[in-house]
Chains A and B, each alone.
Chain A
């Protein structure tokens, strides 16, 4: 007998108390929790919660964005910046940093030598201060927002902002590779002191882009 049959057989024997005709839906799941906690202003709450977990929040309109991105990269003295294939070109129009394309031959080691990355996002959750990336062309592969030490993420507000986790999941496609980011990498493993930046980017800058 295969282990699969063995385990499934054990499960069926273990559930001898479950009536034969019971279907999963017959076990009630009360869903009277809230779909949103209804923040007065979701974008403001997003900004507040991002900052609370030590992301740096900026605001810009379409005209101001290229200048802001250029300033953020210059402030870190970034010589190189990874660019997802579908990032709007004008976002980087004002920076001198050399572009590194997110292509198949971009090895982890080469990526490790890159200073910054600029991406868009799929959805942002106000109540938790979370950005979700789904690998769309303006966000690129999961690795590019992981290895460089500085991540600039542009969120289009208000259309990419949802109130809550339930609203975010409803907008996402499960089969895409998804990365949820709430503040920069952090650990509390040493006496529960929070330290930012262990393996992911140590600096997360979020631009709330009002178009």
Chain B
């Protein structure tokens, strides 16, 4: 694994490798099962959970349907509070803005609190290209960064690593990035966390620039909210002189009061806690408290294309809690890397092909990375109907159709590799419209049933890699009905 998602194989290929990795599957099974149980208990504490969930979905729907209004309101409020707002149409522009802002401070190092948005745009690599070193400070992100690895879970990015692997990564790599790991480091979680504390404290105390994402941006007040556990977020948001927050445009919520919904939904869905240990809220740069300069970078990068799809739009409600990952039978076995983006699991399977389009092989494969069991929809705290969007995107992959790409309305062609499927569906439609043809075909199939292979030839081969071809019955249902009168006659 090297630090990029570019050129990753399609989901089935990546998943085939991942599912054969016994250690990975053991790590994942343990982790997802543990957190699943805890989450259910945390949610059960609130008798009004269903009402909170409905409100959480509705507030986001209201926001999305009037996103321009709320973004300009947020921009005004942040500016009035002394912050500077930047708009980035895509990843490249966001990276350029952040790089320029860091350069203007004269610094060559930044501390970062874990952020999905900056992972999505590949900010660390862009900064490195400009000679700026970005230090990830979330423990799991640190493990990923030191291991030259990629995150595999939204909440617990190093969920695929067990304590032994983490110990080895710390012992071998910490010295390359700063303070080395203590001699004789064991694999006890407390000792590993202490090693991270010592390693990172130097960075926190000297850093002049911090980079963050945000969980929420309140339009009414211009307040940004970061929810975390370790305190690395507080460090990055408090001690540097300059703070740069990269925030997806869908993170805005209309009012201060709306936080009452999400601050109940998010911690319980995500870490299965009544409340996460630390939440920081700030409105502009503080006079004497916290960074003296604050920059907000509002990121589109495919979000407006997602917004344009009336079925897929609901994916933008996502508050990145990761509950859908932990209940997903496919994620549990395949792991996060197979999804080929910063957003793994069921939400990644609908978000990534909308943010990036379905042109690449991996993106076109994602709507199929699901059994459509519906568990993700059930746990989603903002009621995103993930299965509905998956089916919708499958249709887009196979048939093409109208979509928005880079803000332009286009007519997509069917994705490559789905020609056979489309031809089969077309043939089926034709035959099903013609009863005579259908009957003749069924009889022919029945008579030749002994000759059918177990595996399909040609493009159907992939399908039969993991499934047996269904057996053709000796007689079609229609023929049986006609012969027996619906089973009333003898021989039924």
Q: Do A182 and B166 have beta carbons less than 8 Å apart?
A: no
CA A27 to CA B54, docked complex, whole Å: 13
B140 interfacial by beta-carbon distance below 8 Å = yes
Q: Do B31 and A191 have beta carbons less than 8 Å apart?
A: yes
B413 interfacial by beta-carbon distance below 8 Å = no
Given A27-B61, A198-B139, A165 contacting B156 (CB threshold 8 A): no
Given A15-B307, A169-B257, A128 contacting B58 (CB threshold 8 A): no
- The distance from the CB of B354 to the nearest CB of chain A, in whole angstroms, is 12
CA A14 to CA B308, docked complex, whole Å: 4
Residue of A nearest to B142 (CB): A189
A203 interfacial by beta-carbon distance below 8 Å = no
B442 interfacial by beta-carbon distance below 8 Å = no
Q: Do A13 and B51 have beta carbons less than 8 Å apart?
A: no
Q: Do B234 and A179 have beta carbons less than 8 Å apart?
A: yes
Q: Do A109 and B205 have beta carbons less than 8 Å apart?
A: yes
When distances are taken between beta carbons in the complex, the residues of chain A under 8 Å from B178 are: none
Q: Which of A28-36, A58-66, A88-96 contacts B (4 or more CB under 8 A)?
A: A28-36
Choose one: A127, A166, A199; the contact of B235 (CB below 8 Å): A199
Q: Do A177 and B281 have beta carbons less than 8 Å apart?
A: yes
When distances are taken between beta carbons in the complex, the residues of chain A under 8 Å from B143 are: 189
Given A27-B58, A112-B205, A193-B189, A127 contacting B274 (CB threshold 8 A): yes
Q: Which of B8-16, B68-76, B98-106, B467-475 contacts A (4 or more CB under 8 A)?
A: B68-76
Q: Do A197 and B197 have beta carbons less than 8 Å apart?
A: yes
When distances are taken between beta carbons in the complex, the residues of chain A under 8 Å from B34 are: 192
Q: Do B288 and A189 have beta carbons less than 8 Å apart?
A: no
Q: Do B260 and A22 have beta carbons less than 8 Å apart?
A: no
Q: Do A108 and B239 have beta carbons less than 8 Å apart?
A: yes
Q: Do B234 and A29 have beta carbons less than 8 Å apart?
A: no
Given A14-B307, A199-B197, A165 contacting B257 (CB threshold 8 A): no
B67 interfacial by beta-carbon distance below 8 Å = yes
Q: Do B47 and A37 have beta carbons less than 8 Å apart?
A: yes
Choose one: B229, B304, B305, B404; the contact of A185 (CB below 8 Å): B229
| Most chain A CB within a 10 A radius of its CB, from B231, B276, B300 | B231
8 Å CB interface, B183-211 against A: 189-190, 192-193, 196-197, 200-201, 204-205
Given A2-B87, A29-B55, A166 contacting B193 (CB threshold 8 A): no
Q: Do B69 and A188 have beta carbons less than 8 Å apart?
A: no
Given A179-B278, A185-B231, A108 contacting B62 (CB threshold 8 A): no
Q: Do B305 and A14 have beta carbons less than 8 Å apart?
A: yes
When distances are taken between beta carbons in the complex, the residues of chain B under 8 Å from A12 are: 68
CA A184 to CA B234, docked complex, whole Å: 13
Given A189-B139, A190-B193, A34 contacting B48 (CB threshold 8 A): yes
Choose one: B58, B62, B190, B232; the contact of A195 (CB below 8 Å): B190
When distances are taken between beta carbons in the complex, the residues of chain B under 8 Å from A175 are: 81, 221, 223, 283-284
A98 interfacial by beta-carbon distance below 8 Å = no
CA A22 to CA B259, docked complex, whole Å: 24
When distances are taken between beta carbons in the complex, the residues of chain B under 8 Å from A6 are: 87, 89, 407
Q: Do A143 and B307 have beta carbons less than 8 Å apart?
A: no
CA A135 to CA B281, docked complex, whole Å: 11
CA A183 to CA B286, docked complex, whole Å: 25
Given A37-B46, A49-B274, A29 contacting B68 (CB threshold 8 A): no
Q: Do B68 and A189 have beta carbons less than 8 Å apart?
A: no
Given A179-B234, A185-B230, A128 contacting B274 (CB threshold 8 A): yes
CA A128 to CA B52, docked complex, whole Å: 16
Choose one: B156, B223, B273; the contact of A189 (CB below 8 Å): B156
CA A127 to CA B267, docked complex, whole Å: 13
When distances are taken between beta carbons in the complex, the residues of chain A under 8 Å from B204 are: 108, 199
Given A179-B279, A200-B277, A18 contacting B65 (CB threshold 8 A): yes
- How many A residues are at the interface, by size bracket? 35 or more
When distances are taken between beta carbons in the complex, the residues of chain A under 8 Å from B19 are: none
B310 interfacial by beta-carbon distance below 8 Å = yes
Given A12-B68, A142-B289, A169 contacting B280 (CB threshold 8 A): no
When distances are taken between beta carbons in the complex, the residues of chain B under 8 Å from A169 are: 256-257, 259-260, 263
B349 interfacial by beta-carbon distance below 8 Å = no
When distances are taken between beta carbons in the complex, the residues of chain A under 8 Å from B264 are: 33, 165
Instruction: Give a binary string over A44-73; 1 marks a CB under 8 Å from any B CB, 0 the rest.
Output: 000001000100000000000000000000
Q: Do A198 and B196 have beta carbons less than 8 Å apart?
A: yes
B336 interfacial by beta-carbon distance below 8 Å = no
Residue of B nearest to A199 (CB): B231
Q: Do B30 and A191 have beta carbons less than 8 Å apart?
A: yes
Q: Do A33 and B48 have beta carbons less than 8 Å apart?
A: yes
Residue of A nearest to B94 (CB): A3
Residue of B nearest to A35 (CB): B260
A130 interfacial by beta-carbon distance below 8 Å = yes
A21 interfacial by beta-carbon distance below 8 Å = no
CA A195 to CA B277, docked complex, whole Å: 12
A187 interfacial by beta-carbon distance below 8 Å = yes
Instruction: Give a binary string over A100-115; 1 marks a CB under 8 Å from any B CB, 0 the rest.
Output: 0000100011001000
The 22 listed contacts between A and B (C-beta, < 8 Å) are A7-B89, A7-B300, A10-B89, A11-B307, A18-B65, A24-B62, A33-B55, A37-B48, A135-B286, A142-B238, A166-B260, A180-B280, A180-B281, A185-B231, A185-B278, A189-B156, A189-B157, A191-B162, A192-B30, A192-B31, A199-B204, A199-B234
* Top 6 A-B residue pairs of the complex, sorted by shortest distance between their CB atoms: A200-B231, A14-B308, A199-B231, A10-B304, A128-B275, A180-B279
Given A14-B305, A15-B308, A27-B62, 7 further pairs, Cβ under 8 A: A18-B65, A29-B62, A130-B275, A177-B282, A180-B278, A189-B156, A199-B232
Interfacial residues, chain B to chain A (CB-CB below 8 A):
27, 30-31, 34-35, 46-48, 51-52, 54-55, 58-59, 61-62, 65-72, 81, 86-89, 93, 137-140, 143, 156-158, 162-163, 166, 189-190, 192-193, 196-197, 200-201, 204-205, 218, 220-221, 223, 229-232, 234-235, 237-239, 249, 254, 256-257, 259-261, 263-264, 267, 271, 273-284, 286, 288-290, 298, 300, 304-305, 307-308, 310, 404, 407, 409
